Protein backbone atom coordinates (compact mmCIF):
# COMPACT_ATOMS: atom_id res chain seq x y z
CA UNK A 1 0.00 0.00 0.00
CA UNK A 2 1.17 3.51 -0.74
CA UNK A 3 2.40 5.69 2.09
CA UNK A 4 0.04 8.54 2.86
CA UNK A 5 1.49 11.96 3.59
CA UNK A 6 -0.24 15.08 4.84
CA UNK A 7 1.40 18.29 3.58
CA UNK A 8 0.14 21.42 5.30
CA UNK A 9 0.65 24.74 3.50
CA UNK A 10 0.30 22.97 0.14
CA UNK A 11 -0.96 26.06 -1.72
CA UNK A 12 2.16 27.86 -0.51
CA UNK A 13 5.46 28.17 -2.35
CA UNK A 14 7.40 25.24 -0.88
CA UNK A 15 4.37 23.02 -0.16
CA UNK A 16 3.30 23.17 -3.80
CA UNK A 17 6.74 22.05 -5.05
CA UNK A 18 6.95 19.33 -2.39
CA UNK A 19 3.51 17.95 -3.31
CA UNK A 20 4.55 17.57 -6.96
CA UNK A 21 7.72 15.75 -5.96
CA UNK A 22 6.03 13.34 -3.52
CA UNK A 23 3.24 12.47 -5.98
CA UNK A 24 5.99 11.76 -8.54
CA UNK A 25 7.79 9.54 -6.01
CA UNK A 26 4.66 7.38 -5.54
CA UNK A 27 3.11 8.77 -2.35
CA UNK A 28 -0.55 9.40 -1.76
CA UNK A 29 -0.68 13.07 -0.79
CA UNK A 30 -3.36 15.06 0.99
CA UNK A 31 -2.65 18.78 0.91
CA UNK A 32 -4.12 21.19 3.44
CA UNK A 33 -4.14 24.98 3.32
CA UNK A 34 -6.42 27.77 4.50
CA UNK A 35 -5.48 29.89 1.43
CA UNK A 36 -5.16 33.07 3.48
CA UNK A 37 -4.59 36.42 1.80
CA UNK A 38 -1.24 37.38 3.38
CA UNK A 39 -0.16 37.63 -0.26
CA UNK A 40 -2.08 37.35 -3.54
CA UNK A 41 -4.32 34.31 -3.13
CA UNK A 42 -4.58 34.15 -6.96
CA UNK A 43 -1.03 32.74 -6.96
CA UNK A 44 -2.10 30.08 -4.44
CA UNK A 45 -5.12 29.07 -6.54
CA UNK A 46 -2.89 28.89 -9.62
CA UNK A 47 -0.45 26.59 -7.83
CA UNK A 48 -3.40 24.37 -6.84
CA UNK A 49 -4.61 24.42 -10.46
CA UNK A 50 -1.23 22.94 -11.49
CA UNK A 51 -1.89 20.21 -8.92
CA UNK A 52 -5.26 19.55 -10.59
CA UNK A 53 -7.52 21.39 -8.11
CA UNK A 54 -9.73 24.06 -9.65
CA UNK A 55 -10.50 27.23 -7.73
CA UNK A 56 -14.18 26.26 -7.43
CA UNK A 57 -13.21 22.99 -5.78
CA UNK A 58 -10.80 24.71 -3.42
CA UNK A 59 -13.25 27.26 -2.08
CA UNK A 60 -15.25 25.24 0.43
CA UNK A 61 -13.86 24.86 3.93
CA UNK A 62 -13.28 21.38 5.36
CA UNK A 63 -14.29 19.54 2.22
CA UNK A 64 -11.97 17.13 0.38
CA UNK A 65 -11.43 17.95 -3.32
CA UNK A 66 -10.02 15.35 -5.74
CA UNK A 67 -7.35 16.32 -8.23
CA UNK A 68 -8.32 16.20 -11.89
CA UNK A 69 -4.67 15.62 -12.84
CA UNK A 70 -3.14 13.35 -10.20
CA UNK A 71 -5.08 10.38 -8.86
CA UNK A 72 -2.92 10.40 -5.73
CA UNK A 73 -3.55 14.01 -4.77
CA UNK A 74 -6.42 15.50 -2.79
CA UNK A 75 -6.84 18.94 -1.28
CA UNK A 76 -8.64 20.21 1.79
CA UNK A 77 -9.11 23.84 2.72
CA UNK A 78 -8.76 23.93 6.47
CA UNK A 79 -7.29 26.03 9.28
CA UNK A 80 -4.69 24.44 11.51
CA UNK A 81 -6.42 26.26 14.36
CA UNK A 82 -9.59 24.23 13.74
CA UNK A 83 -9.64 21.95 16.78
CA UNK A 84 -12.75 20.12 15.63
CA UNK A 85 -12.11 19.31 11.98
CA UNK A 86 -8.35 18.67 12.11
CA UNK A 87 -8.65 15.60 14.39
CA UNK A 88 -11.53 14.32 12.24
CA UNK A 89 -9.31 14.59 9.16
CA UNK A 90 -6.59 12.57 10.92
CA UNK A 91 -9.10 9.93 12.08
CA UNK A 92 -10.49 9.53 8.55
CA UNK A 93 -7.31 9.62 6.48
CA UNK A 94 -4.86 7.67 8.65
CA UNK A 95 -1.68 9.40 7.52
CA UNK A 96 1.70 7.70 7.92
CA UNK A 97 3.77 10.88 7.78
CA UNK A 98 3.00 14.57 8.30
CA UNK A 99 4.98 17.47 6.85
CA UNK A 100 4.05 20.84 8.33
CA UNK A 101 4.84 23.78 6.09
CA UNK A 102 1.76 25.86 6.91
CA UNK A 103 2.69 28.92 8.89
CA UNK A 104 2.41 32.64 8.92
CA UNK A 105 5.71 33.44 7.24
CA UNK A 106 7.61 36.72 6.96
CA UNK A 107 9.78 38.51 9.50
CA UNK A 108 8.62 42.05 8.79
CA UNK A 109 4.89 41.37 8.91
CA UNK A 110 5.30 39.90 12.42
CA UNK A 111 5.96 43.43 13.70
CA UNK A 112 2.61 44.60 12.29
CA UNK A 113 0.35 41.66 12.96
CA UNK A 114 1.80 39.53 15.76
CA UNK A 115 -1.50 37.80 16.62
CA UNK A 116 -1.69 35.76 13.40
CA UNK A 117 1.78 34.34 14.12
CA UNK A 118 0.66 32.94 17.43
CA UNK A 119 -2.60 31.64 15.92
CA UNK A 120 -1.07 29.78 12.98
CA UNK A 121 2.42 28.97 14.20
CA UNK A 122 1.84 28.21 17.87
CA UNK A 123 -1.84 27.24 18.31
CA UNK A 124 -1.95 25.59 14.86
CA UNK A 125 1.29 23.69 15.51
CA UNK A 126 0.03 22.50 18.89
CA UNK A 127 -3.14 21.16 17.25
CA UNK A 128 -1.03 19.29 14.76
CA UNK A 129 1.17 17.79 17.48
CA UNK A 130 -1.95 16.65 19.34
CA UNK A 131 -3.25 14.97 16.18
CA UNK A 132 0.12 13.25 15.61
CA UNK A 133 0.05 12.03 19.20
CA UNK A 134 -3.49 10.62 19.10
CA UNK A 135 -3.32 9.16 15.60
CA UNK A 136 0.01 7.37 15.88
CA UNK A 137 1.89 9.34 13.24
CA UNK A 138 5.35 7.82 12.75
CA UNK A 139 7.17 10.96 11.72
CA UNK A 140 6.44 14.67 11.76
CA UNK A 141 8.70 16.81 9.59
CA UNK A 142 8.23 20.55 10.12
CA UNK A 143 9.59 23.84 8.84
CA UNK A 144 11.65 25.95 11.17
CA UNK A 145 13.72 28.89 10.00
CA UNK A 146 17.20 30.38 9.86
CA UNK A 147 15.68 33.40 11.62
CA UNK A 148 16.01 31.53 14.95
CA UNK A 149 19.75 32.37 14.82
CA UNK A 150 18.96 36.06 15.35
CA UNK A 151 22.12 38.15 15.48
CA UNK A 152 24.41 35.16 15.78
CA UNK A 153 27.89 36.27 14.70
CA UNK A 154 29.56 32.88 14.43
CA UNK A 155 29.40 31.45 10.92
CA UNK A 156 28.35 29.14 9.46
CA UNK A 157 25.26 28.79 11.67
CA UNK A 158 25.20 25.42 13.37
CA UNK A 159 22.32 23.67 15.15
CA UNK A 160 24.73 23.54 18.12
CA UNK A 161 24.67 27.37 18.36
CA UNK A 162 22.68 29.25 20.95
CA UNK A 163 19.27 30.29 19.61
CA UNK A 164 17.75 31.79 22.73
CA UNK A 165 17.63 35.34 21.41
CA UNK A 166 15.20 35.62 18.48
CA UNK A 167 14.79 39.21 17.26
CA UNK A 168 11.35 38.90 15.67
CA UNK A 169 8.12 37.29 16.82
CA UNK A 170 8.22 35.14 13.68
CA UNK A 171 11.56 33.71 14.82
CA UNK A 172 10.22 33.25 18.34
CA UNK A 173 7.28 31.17 17.05
CA UNK A 174 9.64 28.99 15.00
CA UNK A 175 11.87 28.44 18.01
CA UNK A 176 8.71 27.58 20.01
CA UNK A 177 7.89 24.91 17.43
CA UNK A 178 11.27 23.28 18.04
CA UNK A 179 10.68 23.27 21.80
CA UNK A 180 7.13 21.92 21.46
CA UNK A 181 8.32 19.18 19.08
CA UNK A 182 10.98 18.16 21.58
CA UNK A 183 8.38 17.87 24.34
CA UNK A 184 6.00 15.76 22.22
CA UNK A 185 8.78 13.44 21.01
CA UNK A 186 9.90 12.99 24.59
CA UNK A 187 6.43 12.43 26.04
CA UNK A 188 4.77 10.40 23.30
CA UNK A 189 7.67 8.78 21.44
CA UNK A 190 6.90 9.80 17.88
CA UNK A 191 9.67 11.11 15.68
CA UNK A 192 9.88 14.84 14.96
CA UNK A 193 12.40 16.30 12.52
CA UNK A 194 12.73 20.08 12.32
CA UNK A 195 14.33 21.72 9.28
CA UNK A 196 15.62 25.26 9.51
CA UNK A 197 15.10 26.65 6.01
CA UNK A 198 17.46 29.33 4.68
CA UNK A 199 15.94 31.94 2.25
CA UNK A 200 14.22 29.73 -0.30
CA UNK A 201 13.69 31.09 -3.84
CA UNK A 202 12.62 29.84 -7.24
CA UNK A 203 9.65 29.66 -9.64
CA UNK A 204 6.23 30.19 -8.01
CA UNK A 205 8.04 32.04 -5.20
CA UNK A 206 6.49 34.31 -2.59
CA UNK A 207 5.59 37.89 -3.64
CA UNK A 208 6.72 39.25 -0.25
CA UNK A 209 10.32 38.04 -0.65
CA UNK A 210 13.29 39.95 -2.08
CA UNK A 211 13.71 37.87 -5.23
CA UNK A 212 10.13 38.58 -6.28
CA UNK A 213 9.98 42.21 -5.11
CA UNK A 214 13.23 43.09 -6.90
CA UNK A 215 12.33 41.33 -10.15
CA UNK A 216 8.90 42.93 -10.19
CA UNK A 217 10.18 46.46 -9.50
CA UNK A 218 13.19 46.32 -11.83
CA UNK A 219 11.09 45.00 -14.70
CA UNK A 220 8.61 47.90 -14.21
CA UNK A 221 11.39 50.47 -13.94
CA UNK A 222 10.48 51.19 -10.30
CA UNK A 223 13.02 51.62 -7.52
CA UNK A 224 13.94 48.82 -5.11
CA UNK A 225 14.53 49.19 -1.39
CA UNK A 226 18.02 48.06 -0.44
CA UNK A 227 18.30 47.74 3.33
CA UNK A 228 21.46 48.20 5.40
CA UNK A 229 22.87 50.01 2.35
CA UNK A 230 23.21 46.63 0.66
CA UNK A 231 25.54 45.27 3.31
CA UNK A 232 23.57 42.03 3.80
CA UNK A 233 24.30 38.43 2.94
CA UNK A 234 21.84 35.60 2.49
CA UNK A 235 22.28 31.89 2.06
CA UNK A 236 19.83 31.75 -0.87
CA UNK A 237 18.60 28.20 -1.42
CA UNK A 238 16.92 27.04 -4.60
CA UNK A 239 13.52 25.45 -4.07
CA UNK A 240 14.35 22.16 -5.85
CA UNK A 241 17.31 21.65 -3.50
CA UNK A 242 15.10 22.29 -0.48
CA UNK A 243 12.44 19.91 -1.80
CA UNK A 244 15.04 17.19 -2.46
CA UNK A 245 16.26 17.61 1.12
CA UNK A 246 12.75 17.44 2.63
CA UNK A 247 11.98 14.39 0.49
CA UNK A 248 15.08 12.53 1.72
CA UNK A 249 14.04 13.27 5.30
CA UNK A 250 10.50 12.04 4.66
CA UNK A 251 11.71 8.91 2.86
CA UNK A 252 14.41 7.70 5.24
CA UNK A 253 13.43 4.36 6.75
CA UNK A 254 12.59 4.51 10.44
CA UNK A 255 14.82 2.33 12.55
CA UNK A 256 13.84 1.54 16.15
CA UNK A 257 16.87 3.17 17.73
CA UNK A 258 16.51 6.36 15.65
CA UNK A 259 16.67 9.65 17.52
CA UNK A 260 13.11 10.69 18.32
CA UNK A 261 13.85 14.40 18.11
CA UNK A 262 16.20 15.95 15.62
CA UNK A 263 16.88 19.25 13.98
CA UNK A 264 18.83 20.21 10.85
CA UNK A 265 19.80 23.27 8.86
CA UNK A 266 18.75 23.15 5.24
CA UNK A 267 20.42 25.81 3.12
CA UNK A 268 22.85 26.21 0.25
CA UNK A 269 25.81 26.92 2.53
CA UNK A 270 27.13 29.56 0.10
CA UNK A 271 26.04 33.02 1.24
CA UNK A 272 25.60 35.62 -1.50
CA UNK A 273 26.02 39.38 -1.07
CA UNK A 274 22.76 41.22 -1.61
CA UNK A 275 24.28 43.52 -4.24
CA UNK A 276 25.59 40.51 -6.22
CA UNK A 277 22.13 38.99 -6.04
CA UNK A 278 20.58 42.19 -7.40
CA UNK A 279 23.24 42.27 -10.09
CA UNK A 280 22.25 38.78 -11.20
CA UNK A 281 18.58 39.80 -11.51
CA UNK A 282 19.61 42.89 -13.53
CA UNK A 283 21.60 40.65 -15.88
CA UNK A 284 18.67 38.29 -16.41
CA UNK A 285 16.22 41.14 -17.01
CA UNK A 286 18.68 43.18 -19.08
CA UNK A 287 17.74 46.23 -17.01
CA UNK A 288 19.47 48.27 -14.34
CA UNK A 289 17.92 48.59 -10.88
CA UNK A 290 17.12 51.97 -9.35
CA UNK A 291 18.36 51.43 -5.81
CA UNK A 292 16.96 53.26 -2.81
CA UNK A 293 19.61 52.75 -0.12
CA UNK A 294 18.05 52.45 3.34
CA UNK A 295 19.18 51.65 6.90
CA UNK A 296 18.74 48.24 8.53
CA UNK A 297 15.15 47.22 9.27
CA UNK A 298 14.09 46.17 12.77
CA UNK A 299 13.87 42.38 13.11
CA UNK A 300 16.19 41.75 10.15
CA UNK A 301 19.58 40.03 10.41
CA UNK A 302 22.80 40.93 8.59
CA UNK A 303 23.92 37.53 7.45
CA UNK A 304 22.73 33.96 7.18
CA UNK A 305 24.90 30.97 6.36
CA UNK A 306 23.91 27.36 6.98
CA UNK A 307 26.21 24.64 8.19
CA UNK A 308 24.56 21.68 6.46
CA UNK A 309 27.15 19.02 7.33
CA UNK A 310 24.80 16.91 9.46
CA UNK A 311 22.06 16.89 6.81
CA UNK A 312 24.70 15.85 4.26
CA UNK A 313 25.95 13.09 6.50
CA UNK A 314 22.59 11.63 7.51
CA UNK A 315 20.49 12.24 4.41
CA UNK A 316 22.98 12.67 1.56
CA UNK A 317 21.75 16.24 1.14
CA UNK A 318 23.57 17.88 -1.71
CA UNK A 319 22.30 21.28 -2.92
CA UNK A 320 23.50 21.78 -6.47
CA UNK A 321 21.84 24.90 -7.91
CA UNK A 322 24.09 27.92 -8.34
CA UNK A 323 22.69 31.41 -7.78
CA UNK A 324 23.15 32.16 -11.51
CA UNK A 325 21.09 29.13 -12.53
CA UNK A 326 18.45 29.68 -9.84
CA UNK A 327 17.91 33.37 -10.60
CA UNK A 328 17.70 32.58 -14.30
CA UNK A 329 14.97 29.97 -13.66
CA UNK A 330 13.04 32.34 -11.42
CA UNK A 331 13.15 35.23 -13.90
CA UNK A 332 12.10 32.89 -16.73
CA UNK A 333 9.07 31.77 -14.69
CA UNK A 334 8.26 35.35 -13.61
CA UNK A 335 8.24 36.57 -17.22
CA UNK A 336 6.02 33.77 -18.45
CA UNK A 337 3.59 33.91 -15.47
CA UNK A 338 3.15 37.68 -15.54
CA UNK A 339 3.51 37.89 -19.29
Q: In terms of DSSP bridges, do strands 73-77 and 28-33 run parallel, antiparallel, or are they unpaired?
A: parallel
Q: What is the C-alpha separation between 105 and 175, in angstroms, rounded?
A: 13
Exposure string of 66-100, with b = 16+ CB inside 10 Å and e = fewer, is ebeebebbbbbbbbbebeeebeebbeeeebbbbbb
Residue 117 β-bridge partners: none
Binding mask 19-58 for ligand NAD (x = CB under 6 A): --------------xxxx-------x--------------
197 belongs to the binding site for ligand NAD (CB under 6 A): yes
Q: Report 205-264 residues binding ligand NAD (CB under 6 A).
A: 206
Binds ligand NAD (CB under 6 A): choice among 79, 176, 191, 269:
79
CB of 14 to ligand NAD, least distance (A): 4
CB of 102 to ligand NAD, least distance (A): 4
Binds ligand NAD (CB under 6 A): choice among 48, 103, 246, 263:
103
Binds ligand NAD (CB under 6 A): choice among 5, 6, 11, 266:
11
Binds ligand NAD (CB under 6 A): choice among 199, 262, 304, 321:
199
- As a dihedral over the C-alpha atoms of residue 255, residue 257, residue 261, residue 267, rounded to 10 degrees, the angle is -50
99 belongs to the binding site for ligand NAD (CB under 6 A): no
- As a dihedral over the C-alpha atoms of residue 20, residue 25, residue 30, residue 33, rounded to 10 degrees, the angle is -30
CB-based closest residue to ligand NAD: 12
Residues 6+ apart with CB under 8 A from 81: 119, 120, 123, 124, 127
Contact between residue 157 and residue 209 where contact means Cβ atoms under 8 Å apart: no
Q: How far apart are the first and last CA of the chain?
A: 43
Q: What is the C-alpha separation between 323 and 211, in angstroms, rounded?
A: 11
Q: Report 256-315 residues binding ligand NAD (CB under 6 A).
A: none
Pick between residue 61 and residue 294 the one whose CB is nearest to ligand NAD: 61
Pick between residue 71 and residue 111 the one whose CB is nearest to ligand NAD: 111
The piece of 22-30, 199-207, 226-234, 253-261 that touches ligand NAD (CB under 6 A) is: 199-207
CB of 255 to ligand NAD, least distance (A): 27
200 belongs to the binding site for ligand NAD (CB under 6 A): yes
80 belongs to the binding site for ligand NAD (CB under 6 A): yes
Binds ligand NAD (CB under 6 A): choice among 67, 96, 110, 145:
145
Say whether 38 is catalytic. no
CB of 103 to ligand NAD, least distance (A): 3
Cis peptide bond N-terminal to 156, omega within 30: yes
CB of 49 to ligand NAD, least distance (A): 14
105 belongs to the binding site for ligand NAD (CB under 6 A): yes
CB of 32 to ligand NAD, least distance (A): 6
124 belongs to the binding site for ligand NAD (CB under 6 A): yes
Pick between residue 14 and residue 301 the one whose CB is nearest to ligand NAD: 14
Binds ligand NAD (CB under 6 A): choice among 143, 218, 272, 306:
143
| Catalytic residue ranges | 170
Please report, as ranges, the residues that interact with ligand NAD according to CB under 6 A. 9, 11-15, 33-36, 44, 79-81, 101-105, 120, 124, 143, 145, 197, 199-200, 206
Amino acid sequence: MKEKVLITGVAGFIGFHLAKKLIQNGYEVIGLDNINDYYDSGLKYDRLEVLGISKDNALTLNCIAESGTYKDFKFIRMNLEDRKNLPELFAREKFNIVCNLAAQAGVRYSLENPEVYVDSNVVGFLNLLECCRHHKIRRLVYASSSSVYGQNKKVPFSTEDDVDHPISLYAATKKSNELMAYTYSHLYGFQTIGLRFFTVYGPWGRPDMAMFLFTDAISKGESIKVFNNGDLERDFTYVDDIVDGITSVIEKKIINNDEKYSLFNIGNSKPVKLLDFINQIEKELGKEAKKEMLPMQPGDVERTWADVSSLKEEFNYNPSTSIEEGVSKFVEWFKSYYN
